[in-house]
Amino acid sequence: MYRAEMSDAEMTRELSVARARLESQAREIQELNHRVANSLQLAADMLTFEQLRSRDPVAHAALEASRARIVAVGQLHRYLNDHADRRSVDLRPFLTGLGHALAATTGLQCLVRTDAITVPGETAQQLAIAINEFAINTAKHAYDGRPGGRLDIVARREGAELVLTVADEGKGLDHAPTPEPAHPHEQAQPQARAGGLGMSIIAAIVRDLRGTLTARSDGGASFTIRAPLPALASRSFQAWALD
């Protein structure tokens, strides 16, 4: 006969088993993150070695660009891992810390200004990935890899919208034609700065946030993401990667 109620001893045992499973999963995740960090560092070291061997200027530049991206992604991975368990994130300290991390990996002078905005942890991660790509793009194209260039990161609330602007004082945007939007409800994404991998990642994140991305060139390049805050809270961080 089925017992509807568990005894105290049985409940204590079940809770102990569940706690042990959670602790085991946490250790496995920590070990996985450690392996990812080590793998990224190994890949960066291998690219550095290939750079030293290369005599082709084009290949040398491509290897350096790849190495710099891997280093930046590794730093971002460590930073996001430190905030992985947070259900909500205050953007002011989060983006300030991200700015310090980006300055260390890209050589940019990152200046962060934010309103008092709290967003879901997964949303903060999406924004961090987008900002990281903007920073990599800026260091490579706006300032030609020279350290010390300025990058302004501004997050503000406008009514029910979150507005994120990332701007530099570099060479401005390439004058490439703007493509037609992929879907009628989408805004065409700018083909600024070769429209490479970084811009593709950003465009995917913007779609996931149900937002818009605009760009302008006026004494540098400026990119603005607008997204409705209610929609941000309901979207999955990993969904854009599965598009």
**CA-CA distance, 67 to 69, in Å (whole number)?**
5
> Which of 70, 85, 100 marks a domain boundary?
85
- Using pLDDT thresholds of 50, 70 and 90, give the confidence band for residue 177: very low
> Which of 37, 52, 85 marks a domain boundary?
85
Instruction: Mark whether 63 and 148 lie in a shared domain.
Output: no
Query: In the prediction, which pLDDT does 56 show?
Result: 80
3-state secondary structure of 111: strand
Average pLDDT, the chain: 75
Among 175, 170, 129, 123, which residue's Cα sits nearest to residue 150?
170
In the chain, the number of structural domains is: 2
Residue pLDDT, tens place only, 182-202 = 343 444 444 445 457 788 889
CA–centroid distance for 69 within its chain = 12
Instruction: Mark whether 42 and 122 lie in a shared domain.
Output: no
Instruction: Mark whether 130 and 231 lie in a shared domain.
Output: yes
Domain hosting residue 96, numbered range: 87-243
**CA-CA distance, 205 to 142, in Å (whole number)?**
22
Instruction: Mark whether 130 and 243 lie in a shared domain.
Output: yes
> Which of 85, 113, 138 marks a domain boundary?
85
In this predicted structure, the answer to whether residue 84 has a pLDDT above a threshold of 90 is no
Average pLDDT over residues 23-52: 63
